[in-house]
Amino acid sequence: MAIQKISITDFIQLKQRSSTDPYIIIDVRSPGEFEHAHIPGAYSLALFSNEERAIVGTTYKKQSRADAIKVGIPFFAQKQIAMIEQVEKWIAEKQEAGKNPPAVIVHCWRGGMRSAAVAWLLDLYGCKVMQLVGGYKGYRNWVLQQFNKPYHLKVLGGYTGSGKTEILHALKNKKQPIIDLEALAHHKGSSFGALGQPTQPSQEHFENKLAESLWNSVQEDSIWIEDESQRIGTVIVPTELFKQMRASTCYFLEIPFEERLNFIVEAYGSLELQGLQAATIRIQKRLGGLETKNTLQFLEEKNIKAAFDILLKYYDRWYAKFSQATTQPKLSVQKIGCEKVDAEENAQILIQTIL
Domain spans, the chain: 4-144, 151-354
Separation between Cα atoms, residue 74 and residue 117, nearest integer Å: 13
| Predicted pLDDT at 192 | 87
Query: Which pLDDT value is given to residue 332?
Result: 87
Please report the pLDDT score of residue 324 as a whole number. 61
Give 6-11 contacts, CB < 8 A, sequence gap 24+.
6/105, 6/130, 6/131, 6/132, 6/133, 7/133, 7/134, 8/132, 8/133, 8/134, 8/138, 8/139, 8/141, 8/142, 11/105, 11/132, 11/139
What are the Cα distances from residue 151, in Å, to 90, 217, 225, 243? 36, 10, 11, 11
pLDDT score of 323? 62
**27 φ/ψ angles, rounded to the nearest 5 degrees:** -100, 115
What is the structure's pLDDT at 329? 56
* CATH code assigned to 151-354: 3.40.50
- Please confirm, yes or no, whether 108 is among the known catalytic residues: yes
- Measuring CA to CA, how many Å separate 327 from each of 39, 53, 230? 33, 44, 12
User: Could you say which of 108, 127, 250, 338 is catalytic?
Assistant: 108
- Establish whether domains 4-144 and 151-354 are of one fold: no
Position 217 scores a pLDDT of: 87
pTM score, two decimals? 0.92
Question: What is 4-144's CATH number?
Answer: 3.40.250.10
pLDDT, averaged in runs of 10, over the chain (355 residues): 91 79 93 97 96 94 93 95 97 86 95 94 96 97 96 94 96 94 93 90 98 87 92 96 94 96 91 92 92 94 94 88 58 90 95 85
Residue 200 has a pLDDT of 97
CA 108 – CA 130 distance, rounded (Å): 12
